[in-house]
Amino acid sequence: MTITNFSDVIVSIAVAAITAIAGYALKYFQSHKQITTVITLLEPLAKDAVTAMQKAGVDKYISGIMKKNGAYAIVQSELAKLGFTTADETLIKNAVEHAYAMLINELNNVYPQAQPKSEDEQAKADELAKAEQALADAQAKVNALQN
């Protein structure tokens, strides 16, 4: 075999390998297009949800945990409306927390929060928040088991 023929064989093998890898990569990315769409939608949905919960706390006191759970529920609900029923909970919670961290200073200036009237009301609000968190965790477990 001459060097010219040997290099032709190597080039042919390389072209075949690149074609196979490119085809596989294209198929892989197309199958994960839904994940890319969810990630793209999460940031604006989380920002809107955090803003809505902060705005709700202007007239009556809402604890931080209740705001977080409310924002999480809003994002999850909006994703469900768009047809995404198996979105990763951790991904949603992280998006909500990230949006809160990025917006909190601005939101506190725009939407000053109502304060609890008494320690008793604060204790009730905290207990309610814990119960709502337990309910949200239980609902998430039910949803996970149904899928």
User: Which amino acid is located at 37 in the chain?
Assistant: T
Residue ranges making up the domain that contains 20: 1-31
Domain count, the chain: 2
Contacts of 140 (CB under 8 A, 6+ apart): 89
Residues 82 and 118 in one domain: yes
- Please choose, from the candidates 66, 39, 35, 54, the residue with its C-alpha nearest in 3D space to the C-alpha of residue 105: 54
Residues 98 and 140 in one domain: yes
Cα dist. 144→44, 88, 123, 147 in Å? 25, 10, 31, 5
Kindly report the average pLDDT of the chain as a whole number: 79
- In terms of average pLDDT, the best of 31-35, 44-48, 132-136 is 44-48
What's the average model confidence in pLDDT over 54-76?
85
HEC secondary structure over 68-79: HHHHHHHHHHHH
Please name the residue that has the structure tokens 């793209």: 40
- In terms of average pLDDT, the best of 27-31, 35-39, 106-110 is 106-110
